[in-house]
Chains A and B, each alone.
Chain A
């Protein structure tokens, strides 16, 4: 009884800052400009299906590369002495304390014309700019998400107390997830991408200025995507791995 009372502020918080906005997005997505019921926003939202697909492709490739890189690294981690483990974990974590925009700027400088990469490769006679393309966006994504892949795999492998992670997720992973899934990809594509690397987050951002209905519809479709993936994970994944 006592513990339920303690959760009341949290429930109110969730209600005000998570549930009500989602319901509002849901309602707005089914309306036209005059406020009547309409499916037009969805019709328009699916006009951007190529952007949806491109975003999905980038997400898929980034995840795959992250997995390929993270799995052996996590395995090596479990084999290390405890002190070395902690050092490597710190090295993985420290960049995440910095503002992510700064880290993307750092990538811009690394990849741009006359940047370190260009200078190094020009010794071999290769010149050019390595920014403004889809590959650069994927590099940025992999860089950002790698710690999020390494650490959970490592914890599963080394059977650390899962209550800790669950506690962390209960506390804040909802907003963190929104940040990672929407805001972060948006800035990666803006800074590292070229003209063809617009992602679904950019479209939502732009269209929302003048047409909140279509913006809401796209957001809702995106949420359904995420929901479907969550359900799939619950169906097929074993519980340890999801935690």
Chain B
């Protein structure tokens, strides 16, 4: 009796499973709009935190396209994934110098801008960028500048320019980028070199400047800067504007300084890699990201500038008029953009930066 029962049960189970599978096949056939594989920086999109919209769910609702979302930490990680693994991504968000490299190596697809009507909202400043001079491959996603964050209770003179990072009065309380390109760029500015591109001689000069700064430093940091500044452990540090905004929210003694001589204007752009299998869905996704209200939502989350000219209509005055998130046109004119530099110069710069720390 028991055996018959179990056979019956098994039969029921199998048939339901088959039916379910069949039904599911039916439904997906009806509204199968396919999928889109998005590979973005970690914490670089509003996904429902802080009471904000989850833009991915919103996209799925509107288009019926399923989003597979994964993240990376560095441009180099993105590059290695594209180069060495078999995965297929449809949308990636590299930074300016990585875009140049990817275009040079034929790793990006040309976009069909007819599928991306929201491209019209992009500020002209962020079209035809040096890495993509004819605007064939990219739609700018977010941008920002490097700036300085300082502790009002610790500095005597209000900092105005990068030379504050060489201020002997603040000796032992200064932090510096632990990242060769950003650190070298600041030092090059101090030597009167525009750091967009540079030669090995320029690196030598900048290295000397950094060597001179080293005895005054407390530390070379990246993410640790949050603890150091929010906890009132250090007086001044260079960092990315959006992150400075976050630090200032945590500690009211902090203030920012946009260096008078200009700084680095960086941006990341939405692109489609050549391994993409869902190009049209990818274009739909890129278009959706530049819908003004969606761009505004991302801007609220990231506190980096949005290139979308209509997005500010959806932002509070507090964000819209924030000089750190949206520096003035006048200030942006003084800023420079990183361009791709030859591999050997890049390696030389990295080596010099390690030497400074080792000696």
Interface, chain A (partner B; CB < 8 A): 44, 47-48, 50-51, 108, 112-114, 129, 132, 190-191, 193-195, 198, 202-203, 206-207, 209-211, 214
Contact = CB atoms under 8 A, between A and B. Distances in A.
A113 B173 CA distance: 11
A195 B358 contact: no
A108 B231 CA distance: 11
A108 B221 CA distance: 14
B220 A51 contact: no
B19 interface: no
Contacts of B232: 113-114
A132 B219 contact: yes
Contacts of A198: 357-358
Contacts of A44: 351
Given A113-B233, A114-B232, A132-B218, A211 B357 contact: no
Contacts of A210: 346-347, 350-351
A89 to B, nearest CB: 34
A46 to B, nearest CB: 12
A28 to B, nearest CB: 15
Interface string B327-359: 000000000000000000011001101110111
B354 A206 contact: yes
Nearest to B224: A191
A112 B358 CA distance: 24
Given A207-B350, A209-B76, 13 more contacts: A47-B355, A50-B358, A50-B359, A108-B227, A132-B219, A190-B224, A191-B224, A194-B219, A203-B358, A206-B354, A209-B350, A210-B347, A211-B347
Contacts of B357: 195, 198, 202-203, 206
Nearest to B227: A108
Interface in B43-86: 76
A129 B358 contact: no
Contact of B220 (A114, A129, A195): A195
A195 B218 contact: yes
Nearest to A190: B224
14 contacts: A44-B351, A47-B355, A51-B358, A113-B233, A114-B232, A193-B219, A194-B219, A195-B215, A206-B350, A206-B353, A207-B350, A210-B347, A210-B351, A214-B351
Contact of A207 (B217, B218, B351): B351
Contacts of B233: 112-113, 129
A48 B358 CA distance: 7
A34 B353 CA distance: 23
B231 A112 contact: yes
Interface in B183-234: 214-215, 217-220, 224, 227, 231-233
Nearest to A202: B357
A195 B351 contact: no
A203 B219 contact: no
Nearest to B353: A206
Contacts of B358: 48, 50-51, 198, 203
A184 B321 CA distance: 45
Nearest to A206: B354
Given A108-B227, A112-B231, A114-B232, A207 B354 contact: yes
B174 to A, nearest CB: 10
B188 to A, nearest CB: 18
A211 B351 contact: yes
B355 to A, nearest CB: 8
Nearest to A51: B358
Contacts of B350: 206-207, 209-211
B354 A195 contact: no
Contacts of A203: 354, 357-358
B353 A195 contact: no
A112 B353 CA distance: 27
A110 to B, nearest CB: 13
